[in-house]
Amino acid sequence: MGKPLVFVTRRIPEPALNLLREHVALSLWDELKPVPRDVLLREVAHAEGLITMLSDRVDAELLNAAPRLRVVANMAVGYDNIDLHALTEHGVVVTNTPDVLTEATADMAWALLLAAARRVVEGHKVVESGRWETWHPFYMLGQEVHGATLGVVGAGRIGAAVMRRGLAFHMRLQYYSRRRVPQLEAALGATYCALDDLLRTSDFVVVTVPLTEETRGMFGAREFALMKDTAVFVNVARGGVVKEAELVEALRRGRPWAAGLDVFAVEPTPPNNPLLSLPNVVATPHVGSATLRTRTAMAVLAARNVIAVLSGQPPLTPVNVEVLKARDRSASASAQS
Ligand code: DGY
């Protein structure tokens, strides 16, 4: 029997490709730009495994074109690009890449937090353009980070890593998530609070929640109006959790005081996005996990997930395996009854 065919939708770090070559028949879209949809639909026709990027849409249309598909390994911790319901219905295992990107993404949240608080990008532009005229006591004042209150929305691995960094800045830590996480409170001294309270009392609000139907549009005019007029809002999660037009208006009014954004409603965000013309916005192109070490670890984990499933082993970091197991159990129970 030949090796199972796996299609990889983008050039990924070599260690992951080497691992795949040892175990599967590899078909690779060896480009840095996304695979065109028609090519993807053609390529999946015989594939049993697929490694996807967060910009690939994996939905019912793709499933219909991929009758042999058994596993989709998304090279991201988020999987809002995947129609989980449709894949689960078809018995396709979905995996993601948690843990390996936690620290890099938390670093990026902090890069944005510090850059927005201390006007790093605005300052760079002033120096670069020759508009730096003098030093004076009130010039380019920012927000004090040390000793401030850090409010993290989402208490998963990335949220916890963002908070851990706050300890080094002697910050008061508070968080909001659907469920309380007593371990986090014990380990970091973080306080759980309701979202509105967190927004009212935090100097820095960092968003780390996944994009789901529940979190879509979670931050709009109402939420921004609750924030301090000195607060900095940071989003390293997904653009869809923010109502972008309402953030523009809020930033124009100065509440929040500034924003650091790694993610946007539409990516790449068009250059005429009004957010980009605001002096109090620091924007980066969805690079939370973008270090070579982390991207290599993500690619290798995705490869290991595909190889595991195609060789009959449990995936390392499954998203829907429990649901699939429960479905199998109820199918076999009804077959026996
Ligand atoms: C993820 O893994 O979901 C990140 O957004 C990728 O950088």
Considering the domain 102-283, what is its CATH architecture?
3-Layer(aba) Sandwich (3.40)
Is 238 among the residues known to form the active site? yes
How far is the centre of ligand 1, averaged over its atoms, from the C-alpha of 122 (Å)? 26
The answer to whether the 5-98+292-325 and 102-283 domains have the same CATH topology is yes
How far is the centre of ligand 1, averaged over its atoms, from the C-alpha of 138 (Å)? 38
239-285 pLDDT per residue, tens? 999 999 999 999 999 999 999 999 999 999 999 999 999 999 999 99
pLDDT higher than threshold 80 for residue 334: no
| Residue closest by Cα to atom 6 of ligand 1 | 76
| Residue closest by Cα to atom 2 of ligand 1 | 76
Per the document, the length of the chain is 337
Higher per-residue pLDDT: 336 or 211: 211
Ligand 1 near 108 CB (within 6 A): no
pLDDT higher than threshold 70 for residue 113: yes
pLDDT higher than threshold 80 for residue 51: yes
Let me know if 41 is exposed, middle or buried by CB neighbors in 10 A (0-12, 13-18, 19+): middle
End-to-end CA distance of the chain: 36
165-203 pLDDT per residue, tens? 999 999 999 999 999 999 999 999 999 999 999 999 999
For the chain, which residues make up each domain, given as ranges?
5-98+292-325, 102-283
Is 267 among the residues known to form the active site? yes
pLDDT higher than threshold 70 for residue 337: no
Catalytic residue among 57, 267, 293, 329: 267
CA angle 247–162–261, rounded 5-degree value: 25
Mean pLDDT of 20-25: 98
Ligand 1 near 76 CB (within 6 A): yes
Catalytic residue among 10, 118, 238, 304: 238
User: How far is residue 73's CA from residue 319's CA, in Å, rounded to a whole number?
Assistant: 10
Ligand 1 near 258 CB (within 6 A): no
Q: Which fold has domain 5-98+292-325?
A: Rossmann fold (3.40.50)
